[in-house]
Amino acid sequence: MVFSRANYLLLLVGLVVIAVGYIIMRMENEVDGFISLYIAPILILGGYLEIMYAIFYQPKDRSESEAA
């Protein structure tokens, strides 16, 4: 496999963070709300950065990650 289990776990965390960001943006339902303008975009950006980190992440010892 191309990715290890740790990569897939980090990818899943990033997707969840992005989903939470979009959900809380929609829940506030205000254009000028604090959560819609500041918190949700930071969560969404953080989720995308987490996905990028998951793609580039390489475990230090490949044999340990494949054995798990």
Which tens digit of pLDDT belongs to each residue from 1-30? 788 999 999 999 999 999 999 999 999 878
Asked whether the whole model's pTM tops 0.75, one would answer yes
Mean pLDDT for all residues in the chain: 88
Pick from 63, 15, 22: nearest CA to 42: 22
pLDDT (mean) for 33-50:
94
| Residue located via tokens 């500041």 | 38
Q: Cα separations (Å) of 60 from 4, 5, 30?
A: 11, 13, 45
Backbone angles phi, psi at 3, to 5 degrees: -105, 155
Residue 36 CA to residue 18 CA, distance in Å, equals 14
C-alpha 35/C-alpha 43 separation (Å) is 10
